[in-house]
Structure 1
Amino acid sequence: MSQFIVIEGLEGAGKSTVQGHVVAWLEAKGLTVMRTREPGGTPLAEKMRGLVKEVHEEPLTMEAELLLMYAARVQLVKNRIQPALAANTWVVGDRHDWSSLAYQGGGRGIDVKLIKQIKQAVLGDFSPNLVVYLDIDPAQGLDRARMRGELDRIEQEQLSFFERTRAGYLQLAHNNSHCEIIDASQSEADVKAAVLACLERRLCTLG
C-alpha cells in the first residue's frame, strides 16, 4: 500500500535534499513515487505560495497567511496527493500540516487549537504515515539559507521567531509516534545515512 512521507524542518535544514534521497531510495525499491512541496504543488497552490513568500503590496496578516497555507494545502491534497495515493503512488512531501502548527502556531502565536480546528474542517483525519523532522539550530539554518541567496518574506523574520517555531516542531515530534527526529546539523552524508536508516526501520510498520 502506498504511503505519504513528509519532510519537515526549519529553513536551511536540508528538506529538499533529504526529499531527493527518500525519493531515490523508494524508487530503488521499485515503487512509483511523486514529490510535492508546500505551499505549492498545483498551479493554483503555487500562486498562493507566491502571495505568502513574496507579497510586497501590503502587509500580510498572520491570519491571512494561515488561511492561504490551508487553501494551498487543500488544493494539493485533494487534487494531487490523495489521487496519487489511491493510484498506489507513494508521495514524499516537502512540508505539510506541521509547518502551520510550528510556524503560524509556535512562531506567530496563533492558537494551536484554532489551527487544528481549521485542519479538521478542511482535511479531516488525513495525515502522513511518517514525518521526518530535520532538527537544526535556527541560527545555523538561517546561515545556510543565506548562502542560497536572497531570503524570502518568512526567512527574513527575527531569530526569536524561528526559535519559537523550532520549539513548536519539537513538541510535535516528541508527542507523535509517526515521527523520526534527525539531527540536521550533521554533514549531508551523515544526515542521508540517518534518514535511510530510519526508512529501513519504519518501512514495514508505516501506517
Structure 2
Amino acid sequence: MAGKFIVIEGLEGAGKTTAINTVARVLNQHQICDLQFTREPGGTPIAEALRNIIKNGLDNEPLTNKAELLMLYAARIQLVENVIKPALKIGKWVIGDRHDLSTQAYQGGGRELDRIFIETLQTQVLGNFKPDLTLYLDISPELGLKRARSRGQLDRIEQQSLAFFERIRQRYLELAERDNTIVTIDAAKSIAEVTAQIETTLNAWLTN
C-alpha cells in the first residue's frame, strides 16, 4: 500500500519543528512507524546546494526573484522524484517541512510574482502531485519574526520587510480557504494548545 504525504507549512517562527514531531508521534500511535522526513528547499545533494544559495546568497551577486523561483522548483523536483515518490511507493509516510504551498505564498504573495507564471511552473514540474494533507500553522508576522529572532541570526529570506511577510500570510490564508486538504492551525497559542489542535486534526483525518 502506498504511503501518504503530510506537509507542515507556515511563516518563520510558527513552530514547524514541534508540529513535525507531533505528527510523527501521532502516526506512531496509529502504528504508522515507517516515516521519511523531508525539508524544502533541500533533501538531496543538489537541492541542498540550491537551498544554501537561496538562503544565503552567493558571492554578493543579487539573486533575482525569478531566479529564486526557478531554483526552488529545481530543488523541489529533485526531492520529489528522488526521495518523496520512491518513499511513498514502498509504503513509507512522508512528513515534509514545507512544499509547493510555500512557493505559492512566498514567491506569489511575498515576492508578488505573476500567479499564472507560478501556476504554469507548478503544472509543468509537479503535474497533479500534491500532499495528502497540509497543516498550515497560522501566526502573525510580528510574533513569528520575534520567535525567529530569538533563535539567532536571520537568513536572507527572514530579513525581508514586515509587509513581505504580511503578504505571505494573506496568500496562505487565501489558499487554505479554497483547498480542503489544507487545515489551518492557530499557531499563536501555547505549545500545548497547538499540539492539541494538531493531534485532534490528525486523529480525525486518520480515522475518517
Q: TM-score, normalised by structure 2?
A: 0.96
Q: Which runs of 5+ in 2 are unaligned?
A: none
CA distance in 2, matches of 1:161, 1:138: 9
Q: In structure 2, how many angstroms separate the alpha carbons of the residues matched to 1:82 and 1:144?
A: 33
Q: Which residue of 1 aligns with 2:168?
A: 165
Kindly indicate whether residue 63 of structure 2 is the aligned counterpart of residue 60 of structure 1: yes
SS of the residue 2:131 aligns to = coil
Q: Cα offset for 1:56?
A: 4.2
Is 2:35 the counterpart of 1:41? Answer: no
CA drift at 1:29: 2.1
The answer on whether the counterparts of 1:23 and 1:35 sit within 8 Å (CA) in structure 2 is: no
The alignment-based identity, stated in percent, is: 52
Distance, in Å, in 1 between the alignment partners of 2:173 and 2:29 is 31
Distance 1:201 1:70 in 2: 32
| 2:6 is equivalent to residue 5 of structure 1 | yes
Runs of 4+ in 1 over 3 A off after TM superposition: none
Q: Is the 8 A contact 1:85 1:91 kept in 2?
A: yes
Contact 2:26 2:203 in 1 (8 A): no
Is 1:14 aligned to residue 10 of structure 2?
A: no
Q: 2:85 aligns with which of 56, 69, 82?
A: 82
Q: Pairwise mapping of residues 146-185 of structure 1 onto structure 2 (< 5 A)?
A: 146-185=149-188
1:97 aligned residue: 100
* SS in structure 1 at match of 2:207: helix
* Number of equivalenced pairs: 205
Structure 1 vs Structure 2 CA RMSD: 0.9
Structure 1 residue runs without a partner (length 5+): none
Q: Residue 30 of structure 1 corresponds to which residue in structure 2?
A: 31
- How far the C-alpha of 1:178 sits from its partner, in A, is 0.6
The 1-side partners of 2:138 and 2:193 are apart by 13
CA distance in 2, matches of 1:15, 1:27: 18
